[in-house]
Structure 1
Amino acid sequence: MTTGLMAGVFGLYQHTVMVGLGRSDDRTFIGAFQALDRAIINPWFMLSFGGALLFTAVAAFLSPGRQILPWVLAALVLYIVVFGITVAVNVPMNDALKAAGSPDTITDLAAVREAFNEARWVAFNLVRTIATTAAFGCLCWALVVRGKLG
């Protein structure tokens, strides 16, 4: 469930949030992105984001047979990639944009937006979206295989 929720979060950012923000002016982009980034750090998101990794690892450990283990391990590897990209790329980019300060106090909004590098953020988010969706698919298939076993 948590992996599916994360696929939805990353997908929504990919096809809606960043597209909408990309069409906005610099002040709106910076202010809205900062507000979204502050809002997303909440217990529900953290449960889903960390839970997807934890619960998939537990599922791999408790896997009842060789038939489903490859699917669960594939999901785990895919989500480890997602977790790593998030921690190494997207979060530092988010933090740098927040560190720029309020849009009301930034003297060169265009330079701050350019330094953020939306295209890079979106490209790495696309990888997260595809990998998390694939991980969710692997976990779903593991359930199908498990159902056929018994």
Structure 2
Amino acid sequence: MLTGTVLFAATMTTGLMAGVFFIYANAYMPGLGRTDDRTFVGAFQATDRAIINPLFMGLFFGSLVLIGLAALLYLGEGALPWIVVAFVLYLVTVGITVAINVPLNDALKAAGDPDTIGDLARVRKDFNEARWVAWNWVRVVLSTGAFGCLVAAVRQS
């Protein structure tokens, strides 16, 4: 009962995170990309501040913890290889987030209030929107792959 519950929770949280990354890739960043510099900087800063909350952080890191726990609970079981691959894929997703996306987010927030920034075009350019978007697509692929592996593990268990 516990093993199935943990695997189910890992699958659901990972699926939710894949969805978050996808919505950024599919709608949020393309929409922001079409705005002027002030709107881009202000909206991105506001969204980044809003997403740092207990629910998001719990899902983001909780997925990794749940996948790891599922791997421990499924030692010696047929579903284990799927869970291990999911863990690795999601671990790389977390690593990319921490090493690439978060520092870009933090630098943009550190630029200050858009109403007080003298050169918004420079701040936006320094943010490196193309890099953020490209690495977010990598997160989409990796987290979706992790979700798919976990679905396969659920079917195998």
1:55 aligned partner: 66
Query: Kindly, what percent of the aligned residue pairs are identical?
Result: 64
1:104-144 Cα deviation digits (max 9, x unpaired)? 00000000000000000000000001100000000000011
Residue 123 of structure 1: which of 134, 138, 154 is its match?
Answer: 134
SS at match of 2:115: coil
CA drift at 1:145 = 1.0
How much is the aligned-residue C-alpha RMSD, in angstroms?
A: 0.7
How far apart in 1 are the matches of 2:69 and 2:32? 37
Amino acid in the other structure paired with 2:17: M
1:6 aligned partner: 17
How far apart in 2 are the matches of 1:144 and 1:131? 20
1:69-126 Cα deviation digits (max 9, x unpaired)? 1100000000010000000000000000000001000000000000000000000000
Instruction: Say yes or no: does 1:102 pair with 2:113.
Output: yes
Amino acid in the other structure paired with 1:82: T
2:48 aligned partner: 37
2:57 aligned partner: 46
Residue 15 of structure 1: which of 10, 26, 33 is its match?
Answer: 26
How far apart in 2 are the matches of 1:46 and 1:98? 18
* Runs of 5+ consecutive residues of structure 2 not aligned to the other structure: 1-11
The alignment's TM-score, normalised by the length of structure 1, stands at 0.96
CA drift at 1:67 = 1.3
Which 4+ stretches in 1 moved above 3 angstroms? none
Counting matched residue pairs gives 146
* Runs of 5+ consecutive residues of structure 1 not aligned to the other structure: none
2:39 aligned partner: 28
CA drift at 1:65 = 3.5
